[in-house]
Amino acid sequence: MRIIALSTLKNFWEDNPEYLDAKEPTLTWHKHALKADWKDPAAVKADFGNASILQDGRVVFNIAGNKYRLIVWINYPYRVVYIRFIGTHRQYDNVDAQTI
């Protein structure tokens, strides 16, 4: 998969030192996603059983033992993952995962 953009993940922990513990888990997710070939939501779910599949290509991943949430939009035909949001559960509760 092609991922747009790693810089969003990096900015999360670089701009907020209190979230530095998200660095390794998010880089692990990124490395795994780069090698993936998700052709549909079922393929994502097979790879990440705890991922939440939303409508219209949206997926929510639990990061760092469910401490953080990562929202992506996946264009399955083109195999592109767009990172839309990363944050704590509290921050996640304040966004609409379907529209962010």
* Alpha helices (H) along 1-100: 6-14, 23-35, 41-47, 89-93
pTM for this predicted structure? 0.95
Q: Residue 76: what pLDDT?
A: 97
Q: With bands split at pLDDT 50, 70 and 90, how would you rate the model's confidence at 83? A: very high
Q: With bands split at pLDDT 50, 70 and 90, how would you rate the model's confidence at 86? A: very high
In what helix (H) or strand (E) does residue 73 lie, and over which residues does it extend?
strand 68-75
Looking at the chain, the whole-number percentage of residues with pLDDT higher than 90 is 96
User: Could you tell me the end-to-end alpha-carbon distance of the chain, in angstroms, rounded to an integer?
Assistant: 21
| Residue 85 tokens, joined | 């949001």
| CB-side neighbour CA atoms (13 Å) of 32 | 11
Q: Residue 44: what pLDDT?
A: 98
Residue 51 is given by DSSP the state: P
Looking at the chain, the whole-number percentage of residues with pLDDT higher than 70 is 100
Q: Calculate mean pLDDT across residues 75-81.
A: 97
